[in-house]
Amino acid sequence: MSKVLVTVRHPALSLWQSCLHRVLSRSQPSRDAGGLASSVEHPVMKDACHAAREHAGSHEVEPLLTRRRRASACARLCARLALARFHGDHDEVQRLTSELRFASCDPLWVESLVEYERALLLHRTPFYRRHASPGDFILPELPDEATVALLSDWGTGMPDARALLEQISTCFQPDAILHLGDIYYSGTPHEVRAHFLDVFADVFGARWPRVLSLAGNHDRYSGGEGYRVLLEGLGQPASYFCLRNRYWQLLGMDTGLHDFNPRALANTLTLLEDSEVDWLVDKVRHAGGRGTVLLSHHPYFSLASVGHDAQGRKLALNPRLERAFAPILGDVSFWFWGHEHNVHIYEPYAGLARGRCIGAGAVPVLLHEQRNDPLPGLVPAPGESGPPRRVPGTRLGNDGLLDHHAYAILSLRGPRLTTRYFQMENRLLVPGHVPPPGPPLHEETVTLSAPACRYRGAFPGS
C-alpha cells in the first residue's frame, strides 16, 4: 500500500509540517535519505497531520487506516501555537506556551516548534526576479524535434514520485522536464533538496535533461529561500520563462507569488504581476509564427472552483487571469496547470481551446475524495451556460482505493505537437522496478497551419 502524504492548503500549518519533518529526518538519518517516506509513517507526524487537518479544514488526503481518529491534545496544542506565532498573536502564544510547558508531550513536539521559530525568521515576501527587457528569460532553444515531459504537484520525495520520474527517464528520455509546481510541505530549502534536486540526481546522475519548475502555493509557504535554492540548482533564471524552438514556445508563469497569504486563503484568486503579464503577452504577440503553450500552477478555470468573488460565490473561472490573457487566448494551443491533484482534459471553455489539469503527479488521493463533477453552486464563466466539461472517456483511473498518478509527454515534431497523458497504477510504483507505460489515457495532436520557420526573426523578441 502506498504511504500517504497529508497536505493542507495553509502556509502556517504546511510550514509546521515541514519543520516536524526536518526534526524527524535528523532523528532517523539512516532512513530515506531525508525524504518523506519514513517521516509520514512516524506516529508524531501522523498526529500532526490530523491536527493540521482539523485546524485548516483540509479536504485533502486522510490517513487510510485512521480516518476518524482525532489528533492528540499535544498535536492540537502545537498546531494552535504554530498558528498564533505565524499571526503574531503574542497573548495567545504566551498562554499556549505555558500550557505546553506543563503538558506531558513527546520532546519532538517542542523541538519542532523550535525549528518553526527559526523558519519564521526566514518567512518574508517570496523571492521574485523581474525581467529588465523583453528578451530576458528566453532560454536556449530546444531541438525542432524534442520530447518534453510535464508533471505537477510531484515534489513529495516519496517512492511514488521517484518511480514516476524513473518511468519518464527510462521510457521517454526527454529533452526537457517541466514541473508545474508544489514541493511539499512548504518548499523549505531542505525539502527542495531532498524532495526534488536529490531525486533528480539519483535518477539522472550527471546527465540531466533541461529541468524547470514553476512556483506553486506550497513552494511559497516557507518564504523565498527554498524556491531561490531551487532556481539556482536548476540554473533557471526566474519563476517565469520562455522555452522554445523554431516552431513552438512554452511559456511558464508564476501564479504562486500571490497565493501565500494565510489571511486570504478562503478567497484566493491568484494573479500575476502586471509586468509579468506584459512580458508573457509580448511573447505571444511576437511569437515569430510559433505555436504557444502556456504553463501555470493554478488553474485558469476549474469544475472545483478557483476561488470566491466579493459575494462569496464559488467561481469556475479566475477573472484576474481572464483579464490578463483573454486578448491572446485565440493564439494559445494548450494551457497546462496543476494545483488540483487530478487529471482533467477539458472541452473548449471561456475562450481557451485546450485547458488541461495534470496535477496528479505524486500526492496520493483517496478515490472518494476526488472531485470529478462540478461543485454545486459553481458560477460559470461569463458567456458560458454552465461549468467546464471534461472530454468524455478521460477520467483518471484508480486501484479501487487511490487514484493513479499521471504525467504528460509532449512530442514536438516540427509544426506538429502531440500530447499523450499517461497514468501509473500505485501498486506498480516501485523504484528500480518500473514497468513501461500502458496505453495513454488520452492523445491529441495540433499542427500549425504554416511552417513557423518562415517567420523566424520577423518580430521583436523572436
pLDDT, position 263 = 43
Of the candidate ranges 39-48, 267-276, 342-351, 380-389, the one whose mean pLDDT is the lowest? 39-48
- Mean pLDDT for the chain? 84
The string of pLDDT tens digits covering residues 268-292 is 789 999 999 999 999 999 999 999 9
Q: Which three cell numbers stand for residue 12?
A: 502556517
User: For position 103, what pLDDT does the model report?
Assistant: 64
The pLDDT score that the predictor gives to residue 41 is 62
> In this structure, which amino acid lies at residue 20?
L
Its pTM stands at: 0.81
Question: Distance between CA 65 and CA 53 in Å, rounded?
Answer: 16
pLDDT, greater one: 230 or 29? 230
Task: Tell me what pLDDT residue 355 has.
Answer: 98
Burial 189-200 (b: 16+ CB within 10 A, else e): bbbbbbbbbbbb
Which residue did the predictor score with more confidence, 46 or 173? 173
Task: Read off the C-alpha cell for 152.
Answer: 505537477
Q: How far apart (Å, rounded) are the C-alpha atoms in residues 240 and 253?
A: 4
Task: Give the number of other Cβ atoms within 10 Å of residue 62's Cβ.
Answer: 18
> Is 379 a residue whose pLDDT tops 50?
yes
Strands (E), 107-236: 145-151, 176-179, 210-213
128 prior amide bond cis, ω within 30: no
Contact yes or no for 211/176 (Cβ under 8 A): yes
**pLDDT tens, residue by residue, 182-204:** 998 778 888 899 999 999 999 99
pLDDT in tens, 3-50: 556 666 666 777 777 777 777 776 665 444 444 555 666 776 767 666
Q: Rg of the Cα trace of the chain?
A: 22
Fill in the DSSP letter of residue 392.
Answer: T
Cell readout for 317 is 473561472
Q: Which of 209, 203, 211 is nearest to 235 (CA)?
A: 211
Three-state secondary-structure class, residue 355: strand
The per-residue pLDDT for 126 is 73
Q: Which domains does the chain have, with CATH numbers?
A: 11-122 (no CATH), 145-455 (3.60.21.10)
Residue percentage of the chain with pLDDT more than 70: 77
For 101-160, write each residue's pLDDT tens digit: 666 676 766 666 766 666 666 656 678 999 999 999 999 999 999 999 999 999 988 888
Amino acid (one-letter) located at 355: G
The pLDDT of residue 89: 83
- Nearest-CA neighbor of 297 among 256, 268, 262? 256
Question: What does the pLDDT look like over 315-329, one tens digit per residue?
Answer: 999 999 999 999 999
Q: Are 13 and 49 in contact (CB under 8 A)?
A: no
pLDDT of residue 29: 52
Closest CA to 164 of 175, 143, 179: 179
Mean pLDDT of 411-434: 86
Over residues 333-346, mean pLDDT: 97
pLDDT band of 366, cuts 50, 70, 90: confident
Within 13 Å of residue 82, how many CA atoms lie on the same side as its CB? 33
Which pLDDT band holds residue 370 (cuts at 50, 70, 90)?
A: confident
pLDDT greater at residue 178 or residue 12: 178
Q: How far is CA 118 from the centre of its chain?
A: 25
Does residue 297 have a pLDDT over 70?
Answer: yes
Q: For the residues 171-181, what does the mean pLDDT come to?
A: 97
The predicted pLDDT at position 21 comes to 75
Q: CA 124 → CA 18, 224, 260, distances in Å?
A: 16, 7, 10
Q: State yes or no: pLDDT of 264 exceeds 70.
A: no
Residue 226, pLDDT > 50, answer yes
Q: Which residues contact residue 85 at a Cβ distance below 8 angstroms, ignoring those fewer than 6 apart?
A: 93, 116, 117, 120
